[in-house]
Amino acid sequence: MLVAISDIHFVDGTAGEHNLPFGAFNSVFLSDISALASAKDAKEVKVLLLGDIVDLIRSTKWFEVNLEDRPWGERGLSDIPVPRKGSVTEKLCLKILGRASQNSLGREEPPGSLPKNTVLHKNWKTFKLFRELQSHLSERCGREIPVEIVYIPGNHDRLCNLYPSVRDAIRQVLGISVIEDTVDGDPGGQWWYRSDYLDETHGVYARHGHQYDLWNFGGGNDHTRQGHLQTPVGDVFTTEFAVKIPWMLDTLKGEYPEISKEIKRMAESAKDIDNVRPLGSVMEWLYYRLRKENQGKVRDAFNDAFDRVVKGLLDIPLIQQWRCPDTYVDDALRLAANRWLSWLPKGIVDLLDAEDLLPLVMGRTGDPADPDKDVYTQAAYKERIWRENPGIRFILYGHTHAPLQRPLDGGDEREVFYINTGTWRDRIYRTVGMDKAHDFVELKQMTYTMIFRKDEDTKGKKEGTLSFDIWTGTKKKHYET
């Protein structure tokens, strides 16, 4: 039995309390997996963590160091592909995670002993559950069930695969299996997490899927380890825009003392910016939130923060130097970053509202109306491995935060499925407005995919075939404050 989940985004909480509570894993995930393992007579349980699991870039701690030492700064970029030992960037990755050093982690380390506002402090009980999953399953099922946890990094956990110290800490806290089938290199020596996963027993080929996102994969057509380590512009947007907007608002409270409470409330609300779908609706969502504040001064403060953030973003060398042969967006970005070229009269750019520049840096427009035209569905269809290996029946991606199942044309009555594993983060959806302004609604989501071997889930199943279940949960509940 293979269980695939993705896009959990365990964070340190400094950019918003987005971590899923322990109860979701203990009372829902563990209960469901245990019940299925028992009912389907699972011979083993493989948990495939399919990317964007430990998110180190969604943190305000990056603003504590100079731009040069951030992952997209000059010194941070010099760590690729061979990191400088003890670099400021590496140390800050460990700090965000909750490791001040490379010391081994205590198996029963109490959360109170961990640094606050770190990934480990916020999620310690959940990580402990993953490490001890085998004993939990065996106890609930009344028999020994082997458990293997496989980690495939995505774009937001790229740094976890760059620095050996961070890689080892992730292995320890999540109980990752480090064997020849699950990692590249020498499991007993120098190794790193794989960028894809092949499991012929379950008929699965999986990758996070960011490889087909021009904004969030820095390697272009290079799908080697070195290509996967390159810093994408999407990392810069996540931290220097989505994380920085609420941080900047909070910073500006001193400049607007008469509305400091309103600004603080706006800053807290803006921390959800990265959950908005479609992404092209970010500006509309921001002003939707702003409409709830009926004071002109609040709008002035927001415009001030927004202007500083966007224009600062366009000053970052990585943004200015970005080249992408498959899109013209990089040309537009360089035009904006170069202040509309040197021939413009001095001061003209300062008259431009940052709102006018945002479409250049938020060029993605969300899910297409036709699923067959979805970039990731097309990429799954073009994967060579399921054409060359008749045993592969499932192509698994994550990344989009949108659960999806699409049968691919395998020919000769062969069934092949593209499955997107969705997300465990909240999603903010734009409502259908028809003849009036759109509103936005937040929903909690949880999706996981279970694939069963030929000798599992056998009741009523045709002999020698694979089977799968996909469970997507959505929750809406207004909690008292």
Could you tell me if 225 and 248 lie in one domain? no
For residues 326 and 46, which has the higher predicted lDDT (pLDDT)?
Answer: 46
Residue 60 has what pLDDT? 97
Q: What predicted TM-score, i.e. pTM, was given to this entire model?
A: 0.89
Could you tell me if 357 and 375 lie in one domain? no
Lowest mean pLDDT among 50-54, 306-310, 354-358, 375-379: 354-358
Q: How far is CA 376 from each of CA 211, 213, 403, 472, rounded to the nearest angstrom?
A: 9, 9, 12, 19
Per the domain annotation, does 366 fall within a domain? Answer: no
Could you tell me if 84 and 217 lie in one domain? yes
Both structure tokens of 357: 């520049």
Could you tell me if 401 and 261 lie in one domain? no
* Exposure letters 43-55 (e unless 16+ CB within 10 A, then b): eebbbbbbbbbbb
Residue 454 has what pLDDT? 96
CA–CA dist 230, 165 (Å, integer): 19
Could you tell me if 221 and 241 lie in one domain? no
Per the domain annotation, does 300 fall within a domain? Answer: yes
Could you tell me if 285 and 394 lie in one domain? no
Residue 352 has what pLDDT? 44
| Each residue's pLDDT tens digit, 218-244 | 998 899 999 999 999 989 989 998 899
Q: Please state, rounded to an integer, the average pLDDT across all residues of the chain.
A: 85
Q: Which domain holds residue 89?
A: 2-229+371-475
Per the domain annotation, does 39 fall within a domain? Answer: yes
**Does residue 66 surpass a pLDDT of 90?**
yes
Residue 61 has what pLDDT? 98
Residue 325 has what pLDDT? 60
Could you tell me if 107 and 72 lie in one domain? yes
Could you tell me if 85 and 62 lie in one domain? yes
User: Which among 361, 387, 404 is the end of a domain?
Assistant: 361
| Each residue's pLDDT tens digit, 371-423 | 678 899 999 999 999 999 999 999 999 999 989 999 998 777 789 999 999 99
pLDDT band at 114 (very low <50, low <70, confident <90, very high): confident
Per the domain annotation, does 337 fall within a domain? Answer: yes
Could you tell me if 461 and 354 lie in one domain? no
pLDDT band at 136 (very low <50, low <70, confident <90, very high): very high
Per the structure, the count of domains in the chain is: 2
User: Which among 309, 328, 361 is the end of a domain?
Assistant: 361
Residue 279 has what pLDDT? 63
Could you tell me if 197 and 51 lie in one domain? yes
Mean predicted confidence (pLDDT) in 16-45: 92
**Does residue 335 surpass a pLDDT of 60?**
no
**Does residue 343 surpass a pLDDT of 90?**
no
| Each residue's pLDDT tens digit, 248-294 | 999 988 888 888 888 888 888 888 887 776 666 676 777 666 656 55
Could you tell me if 313 and 410 lie in one domain? no
Cβ-in-10-Å burial (0-12, 13-18, 19+) of 358 comes to: buried
Residue 88 has what pLDDT? 97
- Backbone φ and ψ for 427, nearest 5 degrees, come out as -130, 135
Give the residue carrying structure tokens 């990191």: 83
| Each residue's pLDDT tens digit, 289-308 | 665 655 678 878 888 888 88
pLDDT band at 431 (very low <50, low <70, confident <90, very high): confident
Per the domain annotation, does 164 fall within a domain? Answer: yes
pLDDT band at 104 (very low <50, low <70, confident <90, very high): low
**Does residue 347 surpass a pLDDT of 50?**
no
Percent of the chain with pLDDT over 90: 57
CA–CA dist 90, 86 (Å, integer): 6
CA–CA dist 151, 174 (Å, integer): 9
Residue 365 has what pLDDT? 42
Could you tell me if 189 and 251 lie in one domain? no
pLDDT band at 341 (very low <50, low <70, confident <90, very high): very low
Per the domain annotation, does 294 fall within a domain? Answer: yes
Per the domain annotation, does 480 fall within a domain? Answer: no
User: Which among 318, 333, 361 is the end of a domain?
Assistant: 361
Q: Are 120 and 114 spatial neighbours (Cβ–Cβ below 8 Å)?
A: yes
**Does residue 324 surpass a pLDDT of 80?**
no
**Does residue 349 surpass a pLDDT of 60?**
no
Per the domain annotation, does 481 fall within a domain? Answer: no
pLDDT band at 339 (very low <50, low <70, confident <90, very high): very low
